[in-house]
Amino acid sequence: MNKTSSLITGSATLTATSLVPAIEWAATGFRGPMPEQVQLLVAGAIVTAIHAIGNVITDRLAGKKPAATVAAVQQ
């Protein structure tokens, strides 16, 4: 795993099985209650975003340069 990335999070896996209920629900015009699988996808996206923001803040407070900047300087 790239340890210099600011987007190091816990494992989040998207599969066709987890996306099908979301696509079907969206295709019906968001009618009816949100399926449980869609709620889990939304919760996972929120947790992933929180992890990413936390990693960016931690890197900036530690004074690290972003990986893209380091790669550009090395060339």
Single-letter code of the amino acid located at 35: P
User: In which band, very low, low, confident or very high, does the pLDDT at 65 lie, cut at 50, 70 and 90?
Assistant: low
**Domain locations in the chain as residue ranges:** 36-75
pLDDT in tens, 21-63: 888 999 999 989 989 888 888 888 888 888 888 888 888 888 8
Using the 8-state DSSP alphabet, how is residue 34 labeled?
Answer: P
For residue 58, what are the contacts with CB-CB under 8 A and spacing of at least 6? none
pTM of this prediction exceeds 0.85: no
The single residue listed with the structure tokens 């929180």 is 50
Tokens of 3: 């340890």
Separation of alpha carbons 60 and 66, rounded Å: 9
